[in-house]
Structure 1
Amino acid sequence: MDVDFIYDKNWAANYSDFARAHGRMVDIVETVDFLEGYSSGGSALELGIGDGRVAIPLSERGVRVEGIDNSDSMLEVLAKRTDLVKAWRGNIADFKSEQRYSLVYCVYNTFKALFTREAQLACLRSVAQVLDVQGILVIELDVPALQGFVNGQKTTTLFVDNENTILNTHVHDPLNQNLVSSLLWFSGTSVRRLPHRARYVYHQELDTMAECVGLELAERWGDWARSAFAEGSNRHISVYRRTN
């Protein structure tokens, strides 16, 4: 992720709760099933490993998982949760490793945290250099949902129950495909503000960027259960392999 934006202690402390409220804990088994099938009994590298939401259960399947994250706070949470996963602090836009991996994966829109096209290209280039000859890259991204902006701004409701209301506010820069956003989490009498930002990418552009660094699309699915990617899909799981 960009070195000037880091998921700080507030994000690290609330990330699991947010992922659960956002419905992203229920598909962990399907996510791990999918990724395990591409690990080929080798090692895997997660880009933006965070608190280990995916890496820990994948490592418990016997996959040797390593990870990169630019947040010390996230890495501290990961270290408290497991000693099975090796992770280090770094920028996923520009990393090197002596290790070669059967699988590199970047899930839950982490790729969008790279805020420029150049950074996204650099990330894919770094991935191509650390994949082994038969290695696979898996990226999970939402399909951009740009309806409802008024004067470049939009507020959406992510979650509501008897105790919590989570709103997401966005400012849109269409020229650079950027969204600068803040999560506002109301719980009882407290309010938490969690900033984030993204450069959204359509799947066609992602394919083109991958081709520029020597990767080609092998498969694309609408979810981790391998539903077809279709016009109404709200996300995609894209699988790339090396071209040489």
Structure 2
Amino acid sequence: MDAFGPETYGALNADIYDDWHAALDPTEAVRALAELIEEGPAGPVLELAVGTGRVTLPLAATGVDLCGIDASEAMVERLRAKPGGDRIPVTIGDMADVAPDTDASFAMVFVVFSTFFFLADQDEQVRCFANVARRLLPGGRFVLECPMPDVGRYDRDQRVEAHQVGLGHVRLTAVRHDPVAQRFEGQHVLIAEGGIRLAPAFLRYAWPSELDLMARLAGLRRVHRWGGWRREPFRAEGSYVTVYEKPAD
């Protein structure tokens, strides 16, 4: 994984990303984000790691003034090939930089699924929080959807899991866990009649309390933590949603 960079995941996964993540229905995320945007100050909205636009496109269709940043040109090409995708302004760059080609301020910045953890180490994650805070309007919000780290799943800090088993194919994940660095290094493995396809993924996870500290260092305060996009109670399991806010005064 030494050569794994911000653009690597998209470069190697863009053509199969939507198919492999079809079960991640963005409907609830889009609805909840639209509600949060209505509650906050007026202004443009930025998605970090916009990817193939699975959230950005339906959210933009509601009338939100939305732009994005992503490290992968291959992922953004997929976005732009979809209806309405060519109308979403997207910067190619590191999401920790937030918006390197503009001085714009945002009413909201958000990042969904587990993508924030694609930032390779704690320093990059702290830098992302600081840059988001700098770009937010007073009263603006930083919204993150993150998976709760489930380190108990790993036997001797490794795990192999079967996701699909068919007559002509098997899709697995093979993951190693580094508890010191808080890292998961893994491969999606598709074994089919035509051969073997590998799609690597690298995550540096953070605990909710660690994210809260990053926010405090950046001058943001936590206003919500839910167990999902329906504002369920947070129970430290599965994926959860956190809303941080830049003080208005």
1:236 aligns with 2:240: yes
**Match of 2:18?**
16
Tell me if structure 2 keeps the 8 A contact 1:69–1:89. Answer: yes
CA gap 1:170/1:79 in 2 versus in 1, 3 angstroms: same
For residues 132-186 of structure 1, give each alpha carbon's deviation from its aligned partner in whole angstroms, at most 9, with x where no partner exists: 1121111000000112423322112234456653211111111110111101123
Q: Which runs of 5+ in 1 are unaligned?
A: none
Please report how far the alpha carbon of residue 105 of structure 1 lies from its aligned counterpart in structure 2 after TM superposition: 0.4
1:62 aligns with 2:63: yes
Tell me if structure 1 keeps the 8 A contact 2:6–2:118. Answer: no
Match of 1:36 among 34, 37, 40: 34
CA gap 1:180/1:58 in 2 versus in 1, 3 angstroms: same
Equivalents in 1 of 2:117, 2:246: separation in Å?
Answer: 22
Equivalents in 2 of 1:163, 1:207: separation in Å?
Answer: 46
1:150 counterpart SS class: coil
- Under a length normalisation based on structure 2, what TM-score does the superposition of the two structures give? 0.89
Q: Which runs of 5+ in 2 are unaligned?
A: none
Match of 1:175 among 170, 180, 188: 180
2:86 counterpart SS class: coil
CA gap 1:76/1:33 in 2 versus in 1, 3 angstroms: same
Tell me if structure 2 keeps the 8 A contact 1:153–1:169. Answer: yes
Equivalents in 1 of 2:175, 2:10: separation in Å?
Answer: 19
**Match of 1:145?**
150
Please report how far the alpha carbon of residue 225 of structure 1 lies from its aligned counterpart in structure 2 after TM superposition: 1.4
For residues 71-103 of structure 1, give each alpha carbon's deviation from its aligned partner in whole angstroms, at most 9, with x where no partner exists: 111111112221221101011122433111111
Tell me if structure 2 keeps the 8 A contact 1:38–1:102. Answer: no
Equivalents in 2 of 1:184, 1:193: separation in Å?
Answer: 5
Tell me if structure 2 keeps the 8 A contact 1:47–1:105. Answer: yes
For residues 92-140 of structure 1, give each alpha carbon's deviation from its aligned partner in whole angstroms, at most 9, with x where no partner exists: 1224331111111010111000110000000111100111112111100
CA gap 1:186/1:59 in 2 versus in 1, 3 angstroms: same
Letter matched to residue 218 of structure 2:
V
Match of 1:198 among 184, 195, 203: 203
Tell me if structure 2 keeps the 8 A contact 1:3–1:91. Answer: no
Letter matched to residue 43 of structure 2:
G
Equivalents in 1 of 2:7, 2:121: separation in Å?
Answer: 12
Query: Aligned residues: percent identity?
Result: 29
Tell me if structure 2 keeps the 8 A contact 1:3–1:70. Answer: no
Letter matched to residue 19 of structure 1:
H
- Under a length normalisation based on structure 1, what TM-score does the superposition of the two structures give? 0.91
Equivalents in 2 of 1:105, 1:188: separation in Å?
Answer: 40
2:212 counterpart SS class: helix
**Match of 1:71?**
72
